[in-house]
Chains A and B, each alone.
Chain A
Amino acid sequence: MRRVIVTMVFLLATIGIVLAGGRQEGNAASVGGEGSPFTIRVATWAVQESGTVPYFEALKNDFETDNPGIEIEWVGFPYGQLREQVLIQAAAGNPPDVVQTARPWLPDFANSGFFQPVTGLLSEAYIADIYPEIRSDLLYNDELYAAPWFYGPFVVYYNADLFEQAGLDPDAPPTTYEEALEAARAISALSDSEENRIYGLGMTTGSVPVSGGAVLTMLMSFGGGVWDEQGNLIIDGAGNREALAFLKTLHAERLNPEGALLKDLRNLFAIGRLGIYIDQTWGMNGVMAINPDAADYARIALPFGTENSPPRSTLEGHLLTIPADAEHPEAAATFIEYVTSREQLAAYMESLPFLLARSSLGDMPELQESIVAPIAAGAPGVITAVPKHPKMTDLFLELTKIAQMVTIGGSDPAEATAAARAWADREL
């Protein structure tokens, strides 16, 4: 009997030893107390993405040199999973100190209570410097919950070469959806050297939240949206029906690739099979990754309006937020001010085209050289604040669903908006 017990203990010990063989690394242990060095954990998806890696390595170096005593630990997650993973960490009481946040996630973050306002942490001058259109979109219960790293509205990218081939003037791109439809028809009459179809106008409708933002941008530019300024639901309003009818036309004439993600549109644009499409400013990075020569023909313009309503867009951008249980909120704020400083943004801009969210940075020479320069002045004006509803991610997915209903689903715009209304009445 004793032998059995001894053997069991031995076996368990073996298992223990074997396990200890697996390399371990504890959580970044930070030493408390004034002045002693500590580590801040920064959750980001960009740190490992090819293209931005060199910038992030330099950033860590620069920051640690300029802020002795604070070290950075990158907590990298894939873009598609960062939101969930950060919330899991926060729910367990172990959040990072700074979180890179895509704009659509902000309502969830703010509502969950796992994040704190940055109002008291960032200097007043810094906050006052943020463009008011952008600042107002980052408020939740009148408190600022995020600092913009950079921003961009949804913009129009178009292929100047294809414009010329289709007999259009690349220096006078369409400014309304009506004009865009005409241009799209002209472009899709073309085909590439292998006789493949060229799409006229790409609008993303894939089943991901960011496509929901693109759909909402379109709805708003048709005078629709989810809520009006008084907060009444207008999800089944005339503006939305018109916008969906437009989308239905695009689909019927096969001007738009079906159910595409932004990534698909970027690839098509990169290989010259898409004339015009709507994307975030930094989407151009994806285009260039496939075809660096795209720089020669890619042009940018402000988002479309319609004959009766001005162009509008949701705020798109990378934000920086601070969890409520962050261990070092002050150092987190220091980090935020550091990465959004003139020097750092100038360096980051070399690998990513974006716009700057603070008025004091408007004159940066790097911005003037960037592909986004032509729209820099007009961009803040098209940003339209969207309420921070707790169901925002779900809402965005619902918007892609109605876009899919009128296109691949073959539904009527009115049917789709009625379905959306029923959903909204229940959920919002």
Chain B
Amino acid sequence: MAVGDSYRSVRHALYYATLVAFIALMLFPLYWMLVTSFKPNIEIYRIPPRFFPDSLYLDHYARTLEDGYFVRYLWNNFIVASITTLVNLIAATLAGYSISRYPTRITAVISFGLLSTQMFPVVGIVIALYTLYLRVSMLNTHTGLILVLTATTIPFTTWMLKGFFDELPKSIEDSAFVDGASRLTVLTRIALPLAKPGLLAAGLYSFMLAWNDFLFGLTLISSDKLRTLSVGISLRYLGEVSYDWGQVTTVAVFGTVPMFVLFFLFQRYLVEGLTAGAVKG
């Protein structure tokens, strides 16, 4: 009995050690980014490195905030990601609900079509997209960028929401029909409120993807006033001549922190939404 106990506690210890080691490994890059951004250049390149800086060096931050561009990139990115999320949610809710509640042969084809677009490389379509946008005068507009980002995220969010609607008991909706409600009322008054966790999850997902965009923002936007984050970083801090790691890690911190905050606020819903959506869908 005693042997079994100690065996179990050793196993437990091992188990926790692995867990902690893995989490530490996952977090270390972010920690390192943070630490680097608070070191003066001469410290940054020192080997052996200092893992806990003894003083906070704030010049990189001051410089980043001073030049003002960066704040604009952040703001643009935020606008683009938010509106993308909104448009995405409207379109994906309708589509997801349609596939779940009114399945026909055509919707089946469409939903497969939607998913298959995920399998084509983005780099393959930028030229065609640029030409299209030029023709309809949508180059260099946030609208254009938002539309294409919406298009790239819709397939997955539709799928997620479809799974979510599948999970909702149909009987509530049926009794509403019996009471004489129209299809639309049922959708907006009954199904939508119930699908709130699913909507939050899908919204968070599309926000992340839009926030992450590089290639579309690069190709479709050429005015500095409208630039988004990743392109802005690449434009200003990955120049021709140097990697200024102090500066790069600083802007990285700036680009990541707003997402951390958002994420902590909504993370709970993501798990909930996915539980019903992607998991069972």
What residues of chain A have their CB less than 8 Å away from a CB belonging to chain B?
Answer: 3-4, 7, 11, 14-15, 18-27, 45-51, 53, 73-81, 85, 88-89, 91-94, 102, 194, 196, 263-264, 266-267, 270-271, 282-283, 285-287, 289-291
Chain B facing A: main interface SS: helix
**Chain B 214-225 interface 0/1 with A at a Cβ cutoff of 8 Å (1 = within):** 000011001111
Provide the bound-state CA to CA distance between A262 and B184, in Å: 62
Supply 8 further A-B pairs (C-beta < 8 A) apart from A23-B79, A289-B244.
Answer: A15-B91, A45-B240, A47-B224, A50-B236, A50-B247, A75-B222, A78-B231, A93-B134
* In the complex, residue of chain A having the shortest beta-carbon distance to the beta carbon of B134: A92
Residues of B within 8 A of A283 (CB): 241
Q: Does B237 contact A (CB under 8 A)?
A: yes
Partner of A76, one of B41, B224, B244, B245: B224
Q: Which residues of B (202-226) have their CB < 8 Å from a CB of A?
A: 218-219, 222-226
Q: How far is the CA of A152 from the CA of B199 in the complex (A)?
A: 57
Shortest Cβ distance from B49 into chain A, in angstroms?
10
Contact B242 A289 (CB under 8 A): yes
Is B239 touching A94 in the complex (CB atoms < 8 A)?
Answer: no
Chain B contacts to A: CB under 8 angstroms: 41-42, 45-48, 63, 67, 69, 79-80, 83, 86-87, 90-91, 94, 126-127, 130-131, 134, 137, 139-143, 146-147, 182-184, 218-219, 222-227, 231, 234-245, 247
- Contacting residues, chain A, for B131 (C-beta < 8 A): 91-92
Chain A contacts for B83, CB-based, 8 A? 18-19, 21-22
> Chain A residues near B146 (CB, 8 Å)?
19, 22
Residue of A nearest to B223 (CB): A25
Q: Are A78 and B234 in contact (CB under 8 A)?
A: yes
Contact A11 B90 (CB under 8 A): yes
Q: Are B236 and A25 in contact (CB under 8 A)?
A: no
With A15-B90, A92-B131, A194-B47 known as contacts, the answer to whether A24 contacts B240 (CB < 8 A) is no
Q: State whether B235 touches A76 (Cβ < 8 A).
A: yes
In contact, B218 and A266 (Cβ under 8 angstroms) = no
Instruction: Decide: A26 near B241, CB < 8 A? Known: A15-B90, A18-B83, A77-B218.
Output: no
CB within 8 Å for A22 and B42 given contacts A75-B222, A78-B234: no
Residue of A nearest to B222 (CB): A75
Chain A, residue nearest B230 (CB): A78
The 6 closest A-B pairs by CB, nearest first: A286-B242, A286-B241, A22-B142, A49-B239, A79-B240, A78-B234
Give min CB distance, A102 to chain B, whole Å.
8
How many angstroms between the C-alpha atoms of A287 and B134 in the bound complex? 41
Contact among A20, A50, A289 with B143 in the assembled complex (CB-CB below 8 Å): A20
In contact, A7 and B224 (Cβ under 8 angstroms): no
Tell me, in angstroms, the Cα distance from A70 to B274 when the chains sit together: 55
Q: Output the nearest chain B residue to A45 by Cβ-Cβ distance.
A: B240
Cα–Cα distance between A74 and B46 once the two chains are bound (Å): 38
B86 surroundings in chain A (CB, below 8 A): 18
Given A23-B79, A289-B241, answer yes or no on A4-B41 (Cβ-Cβ < 8 Å): no
**12 pairs, A vs B, C-beta closer than 8 Å:** A14-B90, A15-B87, A24-B143, A26-B137, A53-B67, A78-B231, A78-B235, A80-B238, A94-B139, A270-B45, A289-B244, A290-B244
Nearest A residue to B83 by beta-carbon distance?
A22
Q: Are A85 and B87 in contact (CB under 8 A)?
A: no
Residues from chain B with a CB closer than 8 A to the CB of A282 are 241
* Set B126, B130, B184, B239: member contacting A4, Cβ < 8 A: B184
Q: Which residues of A contact B227 (CB under 8 A)?
A: 76
Q: How far is the CA of A263 from the CA of B225 in the complex (A)?
A: 28
Q: Do B234 and A266 have beta carbons less than 8 Å apart?
A: no
The answer for the CA separation of A264 and B91 in the assembled complex, in Å, is: 47
A25 in contact with B141 (CB, 8 Å): yes
Q: Which of A18, A27, A49 contacts B140 (CB 8 A)?
A: A27
CA distance A238 to B52 in the complex (A): 53
Is the pair A81, B218 in contact by a Cβ cutoff of 8 Å?
yes
Bound form: Cα–Cα A47–B183 in Å: 56
Q: How far is the CA of A46 from the CA of B239 in the complex (A)?
A: 8
Which of A7, A45, A264, A290 is in CB contact (< 8 Å) with B41? A290
Is A24 touching B239 in the complex (CB atoms < 8 A)?
A: no
- Closest chain-B Cβ to A400's Cβ sits at a distance in Å of 17
Residues of A within 8 A of B241 (CB): 49, 51, 263, 266, 282-283, 285-286, 289
List the B side residues contacting A45 at CB < 8 Å: 235, 239-240
A85 vs B90: C-alpha distance when bound (angstroms): 32
Interface contact B147-A50, CB-CB below 8 Å = no
**Contact residues in B for A287 (Cβ distance below 8 Å):** 242
Task: Quote the shortest CB–CB distance from B21 to chain A (angstroms).
Answer: 28
Least distance between A101 CB and chain B CB atoms (Å): 12
In angstroms, Cα B137 to Cα A27, docked, is: 8
Contact B237 A50 (CB under 8 A): yes
A75 / chain B contacts, CB cutoff of 8 Å: 222-223
A286 vs B247: C-alpha distance when bound (angstroms): 13
Is B130 in contact with A92, judged by CB distance below 8 angstroms?
yes
Please give me the residue from chain B that is nearest to A53 by CB atom: B67
Residue of B nearest to A285 (CB): B241
Assess the B139–A27 pair: CB atoms within 8 A. Answer: yes
B-chain residues with CB within 8 Å of residue A102 when the two chains form the complex: 240
Given A11-B94, A15-B90, A194-B48, CB of A24 within 8 Å of CB of B238 = no
Q: Determine whether the beta carbon of A7 is less than 8 Å from that of B184.
A: yes
B143, B225, B237, B241 interface centre (most CB from chain A within 10 Å): B241
User: Once the chains are docked, how many angstroms separate the CA of A23 from the CA of B75?
Assistant: 12
For A266, the closest partner residue in chain B by CB is: B242
With the chains together, A286 CA to B41 CA distance in Å? Answer: 13
B226 touches A23 (CB 8 A): yes
Least distance between A94 CB and chain B CB atoms (Å) = 5
- Inter-chain contact A4/B183, CB cutoff 8 Å: yes
Nearest residue (CB) in A for B44 is: A290
- Complex: A4 Cα to B182 Cα, angstroms: 9
